Amino acid sequence: MAFAPINKQMDIIKRGTIDLLPEDELVKKLELSIKNNKPLIIKQGFDPTAPDIHLGHTVGIRKLRQFQELGHQVVVIIGDYTAMVGDPSEKNSTRPRLTHEEVMINAQTYKEQFFKILDPVKTKIRYNGNWFSKLNFSQIMELAASLLEDVNDQEIVA
């Protein structure tokens, strides 16, 4: 597959964005992609805590579509395991827990909605329960601690 030149890809990727961080890392990855004639793998996760995606989701989904149109591989990660914690949007009440069955019903409607924007042939769907369900509590705590270390090591720019 022949990829568009980096400046064309970056023009498309940057369209509709305010900041692209770290931009230089993406440029390096695109250069390598072109050099090796191998698409980037772009991943985004969604927790199906409700039956419908919202407007905020569509921003990322449309960006994923742009990557597809540039010839890159998109992987949508459905948080079937993490969604069972519930929807955190109602700050004044406890999150209602969802059953795996409820989450999977929502996940099906999410997929139907994703494919109104994404090309289903160029999209891989993965479920985070495939790996999270195998972790014990100690491993989850290790993972959480390492994520906190990563956040603490990064410079935050506002």
- In this predicted model, what pLDDT tens digit does every residue of 49-59 receive, in sequence order? 999 999 999 99
Reduced to 3 states (helix: H, G, I; strand: E, B; else coil), residue 42 is strand
Asked whether residue 61 is assigned to any structural domain, the reply reads yes
DSSP state of 126: E
Q: Which domain holds residue 16?
A: 1-38
The band of 88, judged by pLDDT with boundaries at 50, 70 and 90, is low
- In this structure, is residue 71 part of a structural domain? yes
Predicted local confidence at residue 89, as pLDDT:
67
Identify residue 110 by its one-letter amino acid code: Y
- How many domains are contained in the chain? 2
Q: Higher-confidence residue: 152 or 37?
A: 37
14 in a structural domain:
yes
CA dihedral 131, 119, 110, 129 (to 10 degrees): 0
For the entire predicted model, the pTM comes to 0.83
47 and 34 together in one domain:
no
CA distance 63 to 66: 5
